Amino acid sequence: MPHKLTDQQVTEAHSRYLNGELQQNLCREYFVSRKTLQNEYKRLGLPKRYRKNPNCDRLTYDLEAAYKEYINGKPLEKIALELKITPRALVTRFSKKGFWVFPACRREVIGTPAGNFNPVQTEEAAYWLGFLMADGCLLEHKGKTRTTYAAAACSSIKDKEHLEKLARFLGGNLYDQGKVIQVVSQQSGEWAVLKDFNFGGKKARRLTLPKIREDLVRHLIRGFFDGDGNIWVSKDLKEASCSFYSVGPTLIKDISDYLLRNGINSKSYIQTTKAHKINERILAHSSIGKLMVIRRRDLCGLQKLLYASASVYLPRKRDKFEKLDATPC
């Protein structure tokens, strides 16, 4: 049976491959599959993998420098092309080194952080700390040679402009995943501080109201409300309610006590969900702490407490509170 490639073609393709040309491009040029090309190498006794060639320059690149370019916004495909390896191979090498590789989606680089949580001394820091308590998490990736850390938050695509502010504050990257927007920051200092606030592991059940300046607590609660809160106003504006949700009952109690100290009555209770099935997994029933503010006078007091002289908030929830201004408290 005649071979698909001549000996000269196989030798030429193998030489180009060892000099850094991608094998997938060679397969496309010679109209053969990757498996066929590898079999032709084997037939002539040529090394199949480039690592057997000590003169190949593809092992001399600096992974740390390449990863720095990736973090600064350079597309993974362009970096792989310059290094003369496939994007998949580059991702594998990043992972083995312990470098964090993010989802394959559109990314926007924000740059250096505009603030921090060490310590919490500003309205913006208190607000974003509360927001991360609701929608944030800590990520840890262990490689063979190093471990990388990141803080992340995720929200709906309709809140993209709001998450851009969080990305600027954390100095992180913004990832557009279609229906969801994700912010990821690899500032190791922020990771350590957030871990001190009980963010590690199953953070939701262990969260409590952080010990920060009393005048900043209301901003933190506003951030938590924008992450895990809800406000409902009827069409005729006669009925309304505001709710806070958290798996951790201690945090719900702390918020209820703080509101009571400011003259706002609320009702808190534990809401139990039934066992349900998601992606072929049976999830056991769970309990969720819920805090509700129902009386109109208390809702007006909550609006003044959260939004008086506020500079950072989620507009769509603030707009619902403003509807209450149309009717007397």
Kindly provide the residue ranges of all beta strands, DSSP E only, lying in 177-226, ordered along the sequence: 180-185
The whole-angstrom separation of Cα 248 and Cα 250 is: 5
Domains of the chain: residue spans and CATH: 1-57 (no CATH), 214-326 (3.10.28.10)
Q: At residue 83, what are phi and psi to the nearest 5 degrees? A: -85, -5
pLDDT score, position 216: 94
Report yes or no: 24 and 33 within 8 Å, Cβ to Cβ: no
Q: At residue 16, what are phi and psi to the nearest 5 degrees? A: -65, -35
The whole-angstrom separation of Cα 89 and Cα 80 is: 8
The whole-angstrom separation of Cα 119 and Cα 212 is: 9
Report yes or no: 97 and 144 within 8 Å, Cβ to Cβ: yes
The whole-angstrom separation of Cα 151 and Cα 138 is: 5
pLDDT score, position 302: 93
The whole-angstrom separation of Cα 167 and Cα 150 is: 13
Q: For 44-65, how does the pLDDT look when each residue is reduced to its tens digit (9 = 90+)?
A: 888 755 444 444 444 456 788 8
| pTM reported for the whole predicted model | 0.70
Kindly give the parts of the chain with pLDDT less than 50. 1-2, 50-59, 276-285
* Sign of torsion over alpha carbons 73, 76, 78, 84: positive
pLDDT score, position 49: 52
**Residue 209 half-sphere exposure toward CB, CA atoms < 13 A:** 20
